[in-house]
Amino acid sequence: MNNQEILNKIKKLSIEEQRNIPYEDLESIVNQLSADEIIELSNIIGYPVFTRMCMGSLRHKFVLLQDGAAAIIVNKEGQILLQSRADRDKWGLPGGCQELGETMEETIIREIKEETNLNVSENDLKLIAFVSGSSRRNNYPNGDVVINNTALYYVSNYSGELKWDKESKDMKFFNLDNLPKNQNDPDLIERYVRIRKKDSHE
């Protein structure tokens, strides 16, 4: 089996099967791949998960610094879109981790499409801020701890029918004065609210 056949076989696995490839098998596969093929494998599995898989027994102990993007998607009523995540009882913004070789704009356009089914072009994106620091710490149910560097975008122009995949339990637009208490990204939303107030006073 050549390298491309191996990558295609991994691509056809379920997410759970990909994440449970034994370390010895992963080590054998990676050792025969070129740098470009390793990038392709990383993007098949997802960069943060792939990084942890390469750590062997330390995968859930290592605090990972990861880059990504999130979107404040605003409807005509000024409400913002939040998703109720399937892996925890919290509401958060659409977004996710940057894959190898992506620009931040490509990351958020891809994540919006994957998570909401909405279509957004690069011209529809307005960068609000890069948000980093201790407020961006995230603890996952499986024990993983990450600290995110997040490019936060504002989006008011989009097309398509709102749908969501198995990463979300629900998705709704909320008024800023009636947001759910169990938020996953309160620091990002607060950054948007502060900038919105500042712009309204100028």
CATH number at residue 173: 3.90.79.10
**For residue 195, which of 152, 165, 136, 138 has the smallest C-alpha distance?**
152
Q: Note the pLDDT of residue 202.
A: 55
121, 98: one domain = yes
Chain segment 11-52, per-residue pLDDT in tens: 999 999 999 999 999 999 999 999 999 999 999 999 999 999
Both 51 and 70 in one domain: the answer is no
**Are residues 119 and 164 both part of a single domain?**
yes
In a shared domain, residues 70 and 128? yes
Tell me which H or E stretch contains 168: strand 168-174
Contact assessment for residue 148 and residue 122, using Cβ atoms and an 8 Å cutoff: no
pLDDT in tens, 49-102: 999 999 988 888 999 999 999 999 999 999 999 999 877 778 999 999 999 999
Q: What pLDDT, on a 0 to 100 scale, did the predictor assign at position 169?
A: 83
Among 21, 39, 58, residue at a domain's last position: 58
Out of 13, 37, 58, pick the residue that ends a domain: 58
70 and 50 part of one domain:
no
Q: Are 153 and 191 members of one domain? A: yes
Q: What average pLDDT does the segment 120-144 reach?
A: 92
Looking at the fold, whether 47 and 123 belong to one and the same domain comes out as no
Quick one: 73 and 170 in the same domain?
yes
Domain range for 26? 3-58
Average pLDDT over residues 127-141: 91
pLDDT, residue 110, reads 96
pLDDT attached to residue 89:
79
Mean per-residue pLDDT, 189-194: 92
pLDDT surpasses 60 at 201: no
User: Domain total for the chain?
Assistant: 2
Strand runs (DSSP E) across the chain, as ranges?
64-73, 80-85, 91-92, 95-97, 126-131, 137-139, 145-155, 168-174
50 and 82, same domain (yes or no): no
Contact criterion met (CB below 8 Å) for 155 and 63: no
Same domain, 114 and 197: yes
The pLDDT score that the predictor gives to residue 195 is 84
- What is the reported pLDDT for 200? 62
In the structure, what pLDDT confidence band is assigned to residue 120 with cuts at 50, 70 and 90? very high
Residue 79 and residue 144 in one domain: yes
What is the model's pTM?
0.87
Question: Is the pLDDT at 138 greater than 70, yes or no?
Answer: yes
Q: What digits encode the pLDDT tens for the residues 159-176?
A: 999 988 777 788 999 999
- Are residue 15 and residue 87 in the same domain, yes or no? no
